[in-house]
Homo-oligomer: A and B are copies of this chain.
Amino acid sequence: MIQPTPIPTHWYNITADLPVPPPPHLHPGTREPVTPEDLAALFPSELIAQEAATEQYIEIPEPIREAYATWRPAPLIRAYEFERALGTPARIYVKYEGVSPVGSHKTNTAVAQAYYNSIDGVTKLTTETGAGQWGSALAFACAKFDIELDVWQVAASYRTKPYRRHLIETYGAKVHPSPSPLTETGRKLLAEDPDTPGSLGIAVSEAIEIAASEPNTRYALGSVLNHVVLHQTVIGQEAVEQLRNAGEENADIVFGCAGGGSNLAGLAFPFIREVLHGRAKTRVIAVEPAACPSITQGEYRYDHGDLAGFTPLLKMHTLGQDFIPDPIHAGGLRYHGMAPMLSHTVELGYVTGQAIDQREAFAAGVLFARTQGIVPAPEAAHAIAAAAEYARGLTKPEVIVIGLSGHGQLDLPAYQAYLDGDLEATS
C-alpha cells in the first residue's frame, strides 16, 4: 500500500508559474476582457476572484477540507496486474477519484462552489448535466451546504439513463429534462420539436436563464472555467506526493481524459509545476475521444461555452459552439471546447493531445477491470487506452501516471454493449 498524504491545504494556481499569462475571457457583447461585475449575476464573489487569480496557492477553507475528508486523499494505486497483462517494463500508477460519494472527480469543485455560494447568501443554484456526473456531484454538495438546486438534464439522457437522475433526486435536488417548458429557450425549442433529444448547449442556456432571473440564485459550471480547474488541483498535488511515498522521484508521463479539461488539468498541473521549477521532465497527454477531438482537430480561438452564446468568450481549442458530437458513451467528453487554461498549456508545449476511439477505450476498460478490479468510467477508459498503447511500446522502464476520474458502475450497460459487439467505434 502506498502511504496516503495529508489532504492539500491549498489549491495550486498554475498561472503564477507560467512564462506567459493566459488570455483573458472576453465579454460576449463588447469583446473586452470581462470584469468581475460582468460575472456577478452568475457567480459568487470568491469564485469570480479565483477566475482571475494570480497568486500561486489559494487556501482551501476549512468547511471544504472537512467535506473533502469524506473521500480524500484519493488513492494512488500501483497497477501491477495491468502492467503484467500489458507485458510492459513500465511502472503504472493510477490516481483513482471514483472513491468520492458520487463516484467521480466532479465533487472536488462541487463542494467548493456550493460553499462559496452559501457564504454569499445564495439560496438556489442552477446547472446543466449530460449523463449526470456533474449534476449528481453538485446535488451532493448543495445538500451539504443547504442550497436548493435545479438541474437541467439533456432530454436524451434523462429518458435513457435514469440512475444518475435518481441519485440527484436522492440528494434532494430537482431534475428537469432539457429543453423544458420552464424557460424561454426551452419553450421555443419544444414548440419546434416536442421530442427533441436536447443538447448540453441548450441545457446550459436554460440553467443560465433561470439563474439570471430569480433572486439569490446563481449558476454553477462543472468544468472549463479557471476556478473549476483550480479546485481540481487537489488531485495532482496528492498524486505528486503519493508517487514520492511510493519511492518514485517523478512521473515520466501523465495520461488523463479531457472533455471540458478540468479532470486532466487538475491531475497534470501540479506535475507541470515540477517541470516549470526544473525538478522534472514529465510529459502530459490529454486524451480526447475521436468523436470530439477539440485539441487534435479543433482551432485555438475565442468561442462561446454554450450554444446560445450566453457565456463569456473563452480562448480555447474548439470545434465550434454548434458542434454536436456523436452520442458516444463517454458523455463527459462530449464537449465542443476545452478549458482555456488547459488549451493555454497545450499552446505553450506542456501538454499534447491524443484522440482515442470508443471501442479502443472500452477494450482497455475491460482489460483494466479484469486485472485491477475497478471498472473505469468510459471517459477514464480513454486515458487508460492511450497509456496502455504507450506502455506496450516501451523497451525500458518508465513511470506512468493515469488519471482514473471515476468508476463506471452506472455505465455498465455500455460495457455490456461493447461485450456484445454492439458498439460503434465512435458512437
Interface residues of A (CB under 8 A from B): 1, 4, 6-7, 66-67, 69-73, 75, 77, 80-81, 99-103, 107, 140, 143-144, 162-164, 166-167, 169-172, 366, 369-375, 409-410, 412-413, 415-416, 419
Chain B residues whose C-beta falls within 8 Å of the C-beta of A172 in the assembled complex:
370
Q: Which residues of chain B are within 8 angstroms of A419 by Cβ–Cβ distance?
A: 169-170
Complex contact B170–A412 (CB within 8 A): yes
The reply to whether A70 and B77 contact each other, CB–CB distance below 8 Å, is yes
Q: Given A6-B1, A373-B140, A375-B170: A412 and B70 within 8 A (CB)? A: no
Closest 6 CB pairs of A and B: A101-B373, A166-B412, A166-B416, A143-B370, A1-B69, A170-B415
In the complex with contacts A172-B370, A370-B172, A409-B409, A415-B77 CB distance below 8 A: no
Q: Give the residues in chain B near A170, CB-CB below 8 Å.
A: 366, 369-370, 375, 412, 415-416, 419
- Of the candidates B1, B4, B72, B171, the one whose C-beta lies within 8 Å of that of A369 is B171
A174 CB to nearest B CB, Å: 12
Closest chain B CB from A234 CB (angstroms): 13
Contact with A410, one of B4, B69, B374, B409 (Cβ below 8 angstroms): B409
A162 adjacent to B413 (CB under 8 Å): yes
Question: How many Å lie between the Cα of A4 and that of B369 in the bound state?
Answer: 26
What are 17 A-to-B residue pairs whose CB atoms are below 8 Å?
A1-B72, A70-B372, A71-B75, A99-B99, A100-B373, A101-B372, A102-B373, A107-B373, A163-B409, A163-B410, A163-B412, A163-B413, A167-B409, A170-B366, A170-B415, A170-B419, A171-B370
**Cα distance A409–B102 when bound, in Å?**
8
Complex contact A369–B143 (CB within 8 A): yes
Q: How long is the Cα–Cα vector from A163 to B81 in the complex, in angstroms?
A: 25
Of the candidates B4, B166, B372, the one whose C-beta lies within 8 Å of that of A413 is B166
Considering only CB atoms, which chain B residue lies closest to A2 in the complex? Answer: B69
Given the contacts A69-B1, A369-B143, A101 and B166 also touching, CB distance less than 8 Å: no
Taken together as a complex, chains A and B put the C-alpha atoms of A46 and B81 apart, in Å, by: 24
Please determine whether A143 and B1 come into contact, CB atoms closer than 8 angstroms. no
Contacts of A162 in B (CB 8 A): 412-413, 416
Q: Is the CB of B70 within 8 A of A374?
A: yes
Contacts of A71 in B (CB 8 A): 75, 373
Whether A169 pairs with B371 at a CB distance below 8 angstroms is no
When distances are taken between beta carbons in the complex, the residues of chain B under 8 Å from A375 are: 101, 167, 170
CB distance from A198 to the nearest CB of B (A): 21
Check if A415 sits within 8 Å of B374, measured CB to CB.
no
A140 contact set on B, CB distance < 8 A: 369, 373
The verdict on A103 contacting B409 (CB below 8 Å), with A70-B77, A143-B371, A371-B144 known, is yes
C-alpha spacing A163/B140, complex, angstroms? 23
Are A412 and B369 interface neighbours, CB within 8 A? no
Q: Among the interface residues A80, A107, A373, A375, which one has the most CB atoms of the partner chain B within 10 A?
A: A373
Taking CB as reference atom, which chain B residue is nearest A1?
B69
The CA of A372 and the CA of B66, in the complex, are separated in Å by: 11
A103–B409 CA distance with the chains assembled, in angstroms: 9
Nearest-neighbour CB distance to chain B for A416, whole angstroms, equals: 4
How far apart are A406's CB and chain B's nearest CB, in angstroms?
11
